Structure 1
């Protein structure tokens, strides 16, 4: 029979390291105590030692760092499980030996891909991610983006088979393709999303494609391409005005239906138009995805309206020269302005867009903290703490879950990433070489080196 002291003791205590809490004050601690899957104390070794009882597991960190579990705000999980380790960015950088995608036509194939991704992400300290675009699209990429994948996630979550928490966005269009207002209206009317599995799976919103990407000359841009064109919205319509109006109405319709709206927008005219539409739409926590070119006035509007930005420093690292070649040096001056976005008050999330890039967030932090752009671009380097927040507490805000995850504070879920070194002793450029020592979800070890 347990004593009262045993009931107060923790299941797990980690002590003697550097605990990056990611709380609003940016506190660092040296110990953390966990009980029943929740954080019960964060503080000094003496403070957490008081939580040690006869059955408490004690981990001596020996200077290692502890972070909140990493939250990738934009990661195609089922597709990643199908492709890994082949990455799609190779298509833009000249590699032509990519393996073709297989189909995810059967339930066991979908489940295997999601499980494979779960194991991979656990080994990287990733405990949450947003699956950005699943639904009844006509061309669903061989089953990779279909509604069946959406339902597979919900079923696996209900069975306790997921190793990471999943937020999903609905998609009523072709991935990276054209969309139409009637298709969005029909999707909202006809699709009943799977029920939430609290803490593990939730449909949080709808994804919309505003335009393409600059290297393909499909971004909708104020700055002209070399042939004098500016691109156009990736929305059906007989004229530019019709397309723009359809895009704006699409955003307003999705928001009015009570959904969070996430819009793929890359060119400067796309980001400006989408920001204005989101600023006038009902609801909150809407955000831009990618945001390759963002002018200062657009950033100000985003901040004032509480519109977030989810972008990928790894894509910026590889694509800055291609953006300059497509749109010129003037556009490069406003490309991926992550530091300016934070200074303006925009909520910033960093992500991988895997399998476009590796899901390894350490590479993303390294790119964000060392700056990626070609000569002549403004310095947009982030401090280490800023980059880490963009992979932890900021994505929790995007998920509407910052009250219970995203930082290491008492009462929150015990999702942890333990690094095999002290972050304060590592140059950000060297972070990709620091091993992940341990990953915990709900206080349970899902990966240990």
Structure 2
């Protein structure tokens, strides 16, 4: 066997390699060959793979992580808005600060937005993300960011080798944050043909459904009343709560029976309970490992967490939301609502698969800020909100890496640094565990590696 066939293309050594494997093992070095992890271990164990053609990177104590997977991020919209963020606009602290259109027109502008996001995410160490909702329900949408044409743009860019991250997409057959109907949804399932998978780069995994709105706007569907006596409602067409619930359950059943993964935007405690029950019932019929999940899950009662855990249903939430909006939740629903609000700690303890994500451009796509919020529950104003729901650094890191890989149905080949998996890596210029979590966003991303290829380096 020649030296070329046994040596590595890339070796990073002399640092802290957080493998995020089943035991959260920390190694010293990692070797990459042909786009895959060839070996992980001590510096001496990896050293034999260094040859004449190997690029050797002395880490000098720096940190290597699996590539970050932002499992709920609107890539086209982010490319239009950045550096503006929706949360900043709502707070009156920011907006569009670059010369960009307010609506994307045509493939050229959409492609430019996607590629702008690709460069941005690579600079943050993100190597995978989920586009949660593109499809015919938004073909006439006001921003031009969420229509079905964007799915084709993604597929084309992936086939051309221009994406700097692996992208999973969900189809959308209703309006973004708005109405849908069971009839239109089932028509979409039947008639819409998404673009074919580009292996390892782009895949349409399933569908997204908007169940309700959000608690601060009193549009989430809740068991407890808002301070004005209302309960919100589902966004799905129907003359009564009962009709709307039946339509939601029918939509979930139809998508499940068609073989799709389903992500449902559900925030109110009544909405999350009904979605969890509908998922559990669908899964019980055939036992399929569908990887369905609740998106956001602002209010999750303990009984709902039990259903989610027992049925293998995930939760995808954003740690920055509670630290920014808790006072608004209290204003809408009262202090008692905080018992079930954004229960990240309770979800993990119950055995729920928990993903953390940005929902960018609602929040920043910088996962370091999200991890800091999950660990400290400290907002920009310095106030700590929901202290009992704090996560450990290792737990939050898993929620940005291996658990999103599970959501993608890809945990056997990405999401951790283990021999045989793809070489998707994020290198931080410092020791992750030596930095106060609140200061993590100041720890620079020194390098991003996708499939063994460096796509960002400073």
**Structure-2-length-normalised TM-score:** 0.95
Is 1:125 the counterpart of 2:131? The answer is no
Q: How does 1:182-331 map to 2 (within 5 A)?
A: 182-282=183-283, 283=288, 284-331=290-337
User: Could you tell me how far 1:137 is from its partner in structure 2?
Assistant: 1.3
The alignment partner of 1:39 has SS state of: strand
Q: How does 1:157-168 map to 2 (within 5 A)?
A: 157-168=158-169
The alignment partner of 2:397 has SS state of: helix
User: Could you tell me how far 1:317 is from its partner in structure 2?
Assistant: 1.2
Q: Taking structure 1 as reference, are residues 96 and 118 closer, same or farther at Cα in structure 2, changes over 3 Å only?
A: closer
Residues 234-266 of structure 1 deviation map (CA, whole Å, 9 limit, x = unaligned): 110011110111111111111111000100000
Q: Taking structure 1 as reference, are residues 23 and 96 closer, same or farther at Cα in structure 2, changes over 3 Å only?
A: closer
Match of 2:79 in 1: 81
User: Could you tell me how far 1:268 is from its partner in structure 2?
Assistant: 0.4
Q: Contact between 2:18 and 2:64, CA under 8 Å: does it hold in 1?
A: yes
Match of 2:179 in 1: 178
Match of 2:450 in 1: 441
The alignment partner of 2:91 has SS state of: coil
Q: Contact between 2:323 and 2:385, CA under 8 Å: does it hold in 1?
A: no
Residues 293-319 of structure 1 deviation map (CA, whole Å, 9 limit, x = unaligned): 101000000000000000000112101
Q: Contact between 1:314 and 1:367, CA under 8 Å: does it hold in 2?
A: yes
Q: Contact between 2:11 and 2:30, CA under 8 Å: does it hold in 1?
A: yes
**Structure-1-length-normalised TM-score:** 0.97
Q: How does 1:43-62 map to 2 (within 5 A)?
A: 43-62=41-60
- List alignment gaps of at least 5 residues for structure 2: none
The alignment partner of 2:291 has SS state of: coil
Match of 1:346 in 2: 352
Distance across 1 between alignment mates of 2:20 and 2:72? 20
Distance across 2 between alignment mates of 1:421 and 1:223? 46
Match of 1:362 in 2: 368
Distance across 1 between alignment mates of 2:142 and 2:67? 30
Distance across 1 between alignment mates of 2:447 and 2:257? 42
The alignment partner of 1:309 has SS state of: strand
Distance across 2 between alignment mates of 1:271 and 1:106? 36
Q: Contact between 2:85 and 2:95, CA under 8 Å: does it hold in 1?
A: no
Q: Taking structure 1 as reference, are residues 221 and 65 closer, same or farther at Cα in structure 2, changes over 3 Å only?
A: same
95-104 or 244-253: which moved more? 95-104
Give aligned pairs, total.
447
Match of 1:137 in 2: 137
Is 1:336 the counterpart of 2:338? The answer is no
User: Could you tell me how far 1:227 is from its partner in structure 2?
Assistant: 1.2
Distance across 2 between alignment mates of 1:91 and 1:326? 20
Residues 137-189 of structure 1 deviation map (CA, whole Å, 9 limit, x = unaligned): 15423321000001000011011110010000000011000110011011001
Distance across 2 between alignment mates of 1:13 and 1:135? 42
Distance across 1 between alignment mates of 2:87 and 2:311? 32
Match of 2:389 in 1: 380
Q: Could you tell me which of 429, 432, 445 is aligned with 2:438?
A: 429
Residues 80-100 of structure 1 deviation map (CA, whole Å, 9 limit, x = unaligned): 001100000124324485579
- List alignment gaps of at least 5 residues for structure 1: none
The alignment partner of 2:225 has SS state of: coil
Q: Could you tell me which of 395, 400, 409 is aligned with 2:418?
A: 409
User: Could you tell me how far 1:281 is from its partner in structure 2?
Assistant: 1.1
User: Could you tell me how far 1:223 is from its partner in structure 2?
Assistant: 1.5
Match of 1:10 in 2: 8
Q: Contact between 1:221 and 1:269, CA under 8 Å: does it hold in 2?
A: yes
